[in-house]
């Protein structure tokens, strides 16, 4: 059992290599048919009426904030426990991040942001957040869904309504060298996004000669090489989402049997689990470190994710204020099984059962 070896992303197949070679030889490397195809497929996958492709999820979030009216000083609510890329756009715009705590069960943001004008929610590790997908009273909601492609809520894809940012980076369930997208049910917003990703010039006009109408625009266009790979790999989404669900379900069963804490999902959600996050029942940091060491000695790799919550990052003040005790506890007292190069969904059934036995013998003892 060699669970630390690289298994993800999967190596390009023969047909993928042939496709990428064809795209390279076409010399149409941006603004081509594969960008349009990814947008069509993302509309089909999520059920959203509009999709706009970007070169990353980070730039997609940045552009979406611009399109939603975020400007310097705008208060934006964001969970303290997430990746820094969630708030990169907030920082570049000069908006004011308001860090909120997370729920101790799902690790998604709490509904407590009285000062915010925009809510930037996160489907952490594929688990849908509890807020409205389109809005909360008086505030627009933008969802960082970089880890939840394939997750469903009440029988529908999480991206069916509202505005969501998606990632196709190498650690994600649909993996390519780079790429991202926005899906939305707002036609006007989609139109603005198409202009913002192309320097802010009006859609269909020459970027070399037209006047910029959006000062926040940038060169956020994706490459045709990445979009071709994304389009090809979207065909495997259902398989990997089902595999992630099945493996995570078995691992959760073992963790529950040991009385450990592990991340939960809302009752009506079926996540395409991006990570299997767990820890001692009391999230004791010392005990977590012991578990990390014992599992490593037994051949089960783990990794930390979000060890330093955003409200403690130097760039955002670094003072741990406002307080986010649940985010702090989860950051210090939890682990994720596997690695980003060898996620549990890539383990075969025998390996999963072996890991369950090791959990029972090392942690149970």
Contacts of 258 (CB under 8 A, 6+ apart): 359, 360, 363, 364
Nearest to 159 by CA among 180, 138, 177, 176: 180
192 is catalytic: no
Instruction: Give the integer Cα–Cα distance in Å for 288 and 293.
Output: 9
Q: Across the strands, what pairs with 143?
A: 121, 164
Q: Tell me which of 172, 192, 275, 323 is the catalytic residue.
A: 172
Asked if the peptide bond before residue 178 counts as cis, ω within 30 degrees of 0, the response is no
Cα gap 298→121, rounded to integer Å: 37
**From residue 110, how far is each of 89, 101, 292, 316, 333 by CA, in Å?**
21, 6, 29, 20, 19
**Is the peptide bond between 9 and the residue preceding it cis, with omega within 30 degrees of 0?**
yes
Strands 96-100 and 118-122: unpaired
Q: Give the three-state DSSP class for 79.
A: strand
For residues 274 and 171, give the distance between their C-alpha atoms in angstroms, rounded to a whole number: 9
Whose tokens are 């009752």? That residue is 267
Tell me how far apart the alpha carbons of residues 177 and 363 are, in angstroms, rounded to a whole number: 37
Tell me the residue length of the chain.
365
CA–CA distance, 284 with 49 (Å, rounded to integer) = 45
What are the residues whose beta carbons fall under 8 Å from the beta carbon of 240, sequence distance 6 or more? 150, 173, 174, 272, 345
Query: Two tokens at 281?
Result: 């029942």
- Report the catalytic residues: 172
């Amino acid at each position: 059992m060699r669970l630390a070896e690289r298994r993800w992303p999967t190596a390009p197949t023969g047909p993928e290599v042939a496709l990428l070679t064809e795209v390279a030889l076409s010399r149409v490397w941006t603004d081509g048919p594969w960008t349009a195809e990814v947008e069509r497929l993302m509309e089909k996958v999520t059920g959203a009426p509009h999709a706009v492709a970007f070169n990353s999820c980070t730039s997609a979030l940045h552009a979406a904030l611009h399109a939603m009216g975020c400007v310097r000083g705008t208060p934006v609510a964001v969970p303290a426990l997430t990746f820094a890329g969630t708030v990169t756009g907030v920082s570049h715009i000069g908006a004011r991040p308001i860090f909120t705590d997370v729920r101790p069960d799902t690790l998604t943001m709490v509904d407590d942001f009285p000062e915010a004008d925009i809510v930037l929610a996160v489907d952490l590790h594929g688990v849908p957040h509890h807020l409205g997908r389109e809005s909360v009273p008086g505030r627009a909601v933008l969802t960082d869904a970089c880890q939840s492609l394939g997750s469903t809520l009440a029988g529908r894809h999480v991206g069916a309504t509202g505005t969501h940012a998606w990632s196709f980076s190498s650690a994600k369930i649909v993996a390519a060298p780079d790429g991202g997208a926005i899906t939305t049910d707002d036609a006007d917003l989609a139109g603005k996004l198409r202009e913002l990703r192309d320097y802010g010039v009006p859609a269909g006009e020459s970027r070399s000669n037209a006047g910029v109408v959006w000062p926040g625009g940038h060169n956020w266009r994706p490459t045709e090489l990445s979009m071709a790979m994304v389009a090809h790999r979207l065909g495997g989404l259902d398989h990997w989402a089902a595999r992630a669900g099945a493996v995570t379900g078995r691992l959760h069963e073992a963790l529950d049997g040991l009385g450990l804490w592990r991340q939960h999902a809302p009752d009506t959600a079926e996540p395409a689990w991006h990570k299997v996050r767990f820890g001692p029942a009391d999230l004791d940091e010392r005990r977590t470190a012991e578990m990390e060491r014992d599992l490593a000695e037994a051949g089960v790799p783990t990794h930390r994710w979000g060890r330093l919550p955003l409200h403690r990052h130097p760039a955002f003040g670094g003072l741990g204020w406002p307080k986010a005790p649940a985010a702090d506890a989860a950051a210090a007292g939890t682990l994720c099984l596997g690695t980003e190069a060898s996620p549990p969904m890539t383990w075969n059934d025998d390996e999963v059962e072996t890991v369950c036995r090791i959990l029972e013998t090392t942690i149970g003892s």
